[in-house]
Amino acid sequence: MFPITLFPSPFPRKEFNLANDVQTIVNELMHKVAFDHSFLNSSLESTVKVDSFTKNLLDINNQVEKIGSAQSVSFGLFRTDYMIDDIVSKSDLKSEGVSRDGSERDERDSERCRLKQVESNAIASGFSGLAPRVSSMHRYLTRKYQRDRVSSLPSNSATHNVALSFIQAFDTYRSPSAVILFVIEDWVVNVCDQRMIEESISELRPDVRVLRRPFSHLHPHGSSPLSLSQDRRLFIHGNEIALVYFRHCYDPAHYDLPGSWSLRLQIELSRAIKCPSINYHLSGVKKLQQILSKIENLEKFLPPKNCEILLQTFTGLHGLDFGSQSGDDAVKMALKRPENFVLKPQREGGGNNWYGKDIVKVLEPIKESEEREAYILMDLIKPPIIENYLIVANAQTQNPMEIISELGIYGSVLGSKNQLIFNRKDGHLLRSKKLGVNEGGISAGFGALDSPLLVD
């Protein structure tokens, strides 16, 4: 059982609404970036020199582009994560008086948006199945014990909405007897979450079959259940696959078995719709998040008004480009005040980032080499501290704990290079973790499922 909070945690209404409002802009951005082949290549050029995992992903994308894709439509289920940055509150400004790099703070900082994006996930965005369950448990408890607050609990239909997106993507494939394939880990920690989506698909459309198979069972060694027809239709045990949904394949360790990368390529080249397709997967890598935080890059994809709306949700993101003044400055800044930053490699799934003094340990030995380009540097967001009870399996819950929260907004897109078939926001997730814990992934064992109680 995953840890959960006993009560919903307060979250500012204004920032909650903003996060929801910008999701379709984030979706559109990720979609457009994914389909800009040369932008992906130029943006990741330095990263792939030192990061073999990102290189493998980009190589697959380039091979698909060269051979030609058999499926023009991509399906993306994204989740954008945010924290409230409390460091900019007026009282903090007075007491600190300095910004992260040590220079004087601009008074206008106090007016700036407190909602700050942590990252946008493009693959295996979890918990859309469980988040509404936690919301409804909190709704029940609030109705029972704090009835006047019920109206401050936002409704959450993430599971239903995500299932609808699946069905629309499935129908786009136009083969009613085909199946949806969930590609999963050998040992799935988050199985209930995935099953909720499966159940919701089945409730909406009992005729749509979902199969679940570990990636390792699809390998060509021995007898693979997968086969590709002449016209690149993908089959599993003779069933045509309309949609391949990856809840796996986002970490280098997921490709340990020989032939893993060719298997991913084989799936990518097939006619099945992929969630995510390799280009959508790439649109979520951290180096791109850093590059897209610069207005000159953002405005290549979005109209000025949307750039402005989105930019206010970004915190400082710094590239560590080797041989550039800005890269050198970022390294110096991180080494001088490591407590104010997070150092991130191009990884997903939690537990990979470096904080505080550890940043110095990692960065110092590579500061004069290209290796530093495997990372990006991000300003540390410092959310307000709140109190709640954590319910953890096999542990007694007696006292409230100091926690901080992270909001996730689900979004889905279906489209080809020149057409967006749909672009929607799908619901939310709140995760909370004990104060002092740096990482936040629940599956990785760092946090608890929560839900927001909106406050003004």
Binding characters for ligand ADP, 113-152, by CB under 6 A (x = yes): -----xx---------------------------------
Question: In the complex with ligand ADP, which residue's Cβ is closer, 310 or 380?
Answer: 380
Contacts to ligand ADP from residues 74-103, by CB under 6 A: 81, 83
Instruction: Provide the angle, in degrees to the nearest 10, between the axes of the packed helices 158-173 and 131-145.
Output: 150
Cβ proximity to ligand ADP, 16 vs 314, nearer residue = 314
User: Is the Cβ of residue 125 or residue 200 nearer to ligand ADP in the bound state?
Assistant: 125
Asked if 441 interacts with ligand ADP (CB under 6 A), we say: yes
d(CA 408, CA 440): 12
Q: How far is the CB of 326 from ligand ADP (least distance, A)?
A: 19
Instruction: Count CA within 13 A, CB hemisphere, residue 241.
Output: 29
- In the complex, the smallest distance separating the C-beta of residue 442 from ligand ADP, rounded to whole angstroms, is 9
Please identify, using beta-carbon distances, which residue of 118 and 288 lies nearer to ligand ADP: 118
Number of residues that bind ligand ADP (CB under 6 A): 20
Regarding 44 and contact with ligand ADP (CB under 6 A), the answer is: no
Edge-to-edge strand list for the sheet holding 341-345: 317-319, 375-379, 341-345, 354-355
Q: How many residues in total does the chain contain? A: 456
In this chain, which stretch among 135-143, 241-249, 305-313, 374-382 interacts with ligand ADP, using CB under 6 A?
374-382
CA distance 383 to 12: 11
> Residue 245 or 375: which CB sits closer to ligand ADP?
375
Which residues between 337 and 356 bind ligand ADP (CB under 6 A)?
342, 344, 347-350, 352-353
Stretch of 23-31, 167-175, 192-200, 439-447 lying at the interface with ligand ADP (CB under 6 A) = 439-447
Q: What are residue 347's phi and psi, to 5 degrees? A: -130, 160
Q: Which H or E element spans position 324? A: none
Cβ closest to ligand ADP, residue 198 vs residue 406: 406
Q: How far is the CB of 3 from ligand ADP (least distance, A)?
A: 14
Please say which residue, 129 or 440, places its beta carbon nearer to ligand ADP.
440
The binder of ligand ADP chosen from 375, 440, 450, 452 (CB under 6 A)? 440
What residue spans of 244-285 are helical by DSSP H?
A: 260-269, 278-283
The helix-helix angle for 52-67 and 260-269 (nearest 10°) equals 30
Contacts of 261 (CB under 8 A, 6+ apart): 56, 60, 255
Return the residue matching tokens 């407190």: 114
User: Helix, strand, coil % (nearest 5) of the chain?
Assistant: 40, 25, 35
Q: Does 429 bind ligand ADP (CB under 6 A)?
A: no
Alpha helical stretches, state H, 1-108: 13-34, 37-50, 52-67, 90-96
Q: What angle do CA 320, 321, 327 make, to 5 degrees?
A: 60
> How far apart, in whole angstroms, are the C-alpha atoms of residue 329 and residue 320?
9
Residue with smallest beta-carbon separation from ligand ADP: 440
Among 406, 415, 430, 451, binds ligand ADP (CB under 6 A): 406
Among 58, 243, 381, 386, binds ligand ADP (CB under 6 A): 381
The minimum distance between CB 129 and ligand ADP, in angstroms, equals 18
Taking the C-alpha atoms of 383, 387, 392 and 395 in order, what is their torsion angle to the nearest 10 degrees?
130
Q: Which stretch binds ligand ADP (CB under 6 A): 137-145, 147-155, 238-246, 433-441?
A: 433-441
Q: Which residues bind ligand ADP (CB under 6 A)?
A: 81, 83, 118-119, 342, 344, 347-350, 352-353, 378, 380-381, 406, 438-441
